[in-house]
Amino acid sequence: MAEAAILRVRHCRADIFCRRPPPRCPACGRPLRGAGRPAAPVRLPSPFRHGHRQPRAFLLRPAAGTFLGGYDGKSDLHVGITNSSGVVYNYNEEGIHRAETGWEQCISIPLVQPDMFGLLQQWDTLLEEFSVGEAWLPHRYEEHDHNCYTYALAFINSVLTAQGKQQMSKSEFTEKFVIPQTKKASKYITLHQELTANDFYIVPLPDQEKQC
């Protein structure tokens, strides 16, 4: 799913967000050509990734729909873990799924560094063996206490234990890895929604950053 680019132009002591660079500043009407480097359009990096192209990663997406397709910031989220081929292992009331589609717009958190050669080789076997455990049978599912997040974090902790590393609590993992990404995503979703309704979205700069 292709995303329309979000561009930022800085002028009139404000960040001006748009889909296409305007010839004139929408705030003051002056030409932007020749207005200096800050007025040059910069494309904002999208916080979303095609999940099936993110090997050995923790993925997060809305349980229904997509982040840029009407997500309201409050609806349920679903998480999964990819193998080396981008197949998303995820757990719900029907048990374990191995999805090859449906995770095309996700927040992705890589779990394996390129220099972890042993883990790179073993990842798929570890993930498959973990996923066939009795803990992940359909009848064990419980919406609040034994869910997709429980499954994903339990797998991550099993890998940490095998490496002789300390396990992480849900709050620790969420605060350290998930919240920084969801904050970026929230800002991007706001911009996307504003630019769906309007040609420009203007945000005044804090005093210390103001320049024209």
Q: Tens of pLDDT along the chain (212 residues)?
A: 467 899 999 999 999 999 998 888 998 898 888 777 878 899 999 999 999 999 999 999 999 889 998 788 788 999 999 999 999 999 999 999 999 999 999 999 999 988 887 888 999 999 999 999 999 999 999 999 999 999 999 999 999 999 899 999 999 999 999 999 999 999 999 999 999 999 999 999 887 554 44
197 assigned to some structural domain: no
Question: Helix, strand, or coil here: 24?
Answer: strand
84 assigned to some structural domain: yes
Count CB neighbours of 112 within 10 A: 16
Contact 149, 141 (CB under 8 A): no
34 assigned to some structural domain: no
14 assigned to some structural domain: no
Report the side by side order of strands in the sheet with 107-110: 95-99, 88-92, 77-82, 57-62, 107-110
E strands, 2-139, are 7-11, 14-18, 42-43, 57-62, 77-82, 88-92, 95-99, 107-110
E strand or H helix at 148: helix 148-162
Burial profile 160-192: b = 16 or more Cβ within 10 angstroms, e = fewer: eeeeeeeebeeeebeeebbeebbebbeebbebb
Q: Which of 85, 58, 88, 70 is nearest to 180 (CA)?
A: 58
192 assigned to some structural domain: no
4 assigned to some structural domain: no
| CA gap 175, 201 in Å, rounded | 30
Task: Name the token pair of 120.
Answer: 């790179």
32 assigned to some structural domain: no
Query: Would you give the DSSP letter of residue 163?
Result: T
The upper half-sphere exposure of residue 15, i.e. CA atoms within 13 Å in the direction of its Cβ, equals 13
The domain total for the chain is 1
Task: Name the token pair of 142.
Answer: 């419980």
Task: Name the token pair of 111.
Answer: 């779990």
Domain range for 158 is: 48-168
157 assigned to some structural domain: yes
E strand or H helix at 191: helix 179-197
Task: Name the token pair of 13.
Answer: 């002591």
The pLDDT value recorded for residue 212 is 45
